[in-house]
Amino acid sequence: MMSAEGITRDVSASGVFFWTTAPSCAPGELISFSVELKRPEGKMRLRCQGDVVRIEPQDGIVGVAVRITESAMEFA
C-alpha cells in the first residue's frame, strides 16, 4: 500500500481530480484516498474508494481523475 499526498483540483458527488507527485496509477485501477475539508466548525475528511478513469502527466506531476465508488464522511 503506497501513501502519497496531492492537491485537489475538482470534487463532485461522483468523482475527484487531484494533482500528485506520487508514481502514477493506471486507468481502471482501484485506489483509496481521502480529501480533507476545512469548515468553520472544524476539519472533516471524506474517505473514498474509486476507479481511476484518467491520468494526465505534466511536468513532473500527475493529474488523476477518479470515479468515486464508495465514500464516508468523518470528523478529522
**CB-facing half-sphere around the CA of 68: CA atoms within 13 A:** 18
Higher per-residue confidence, 51 vs 22: 51
Grid coordinates of 69? 465508488
Q: pTM for this structure?
A: 0.85
Q: What is the pLDDT of residue 28?
A: 96
Confidence band, pLDDT 50/70/90 cuts, at residue 16: very high
Q: What is the pLDDT of residue 1?
A: 57
63-74 pLDDT, tens digit per residue, is: 999 999 999 999
Q: Average pLDDT over the chain, rounded to whole?
A: 90
Question: Max CA-CA distance within the chain?
Answer: 37
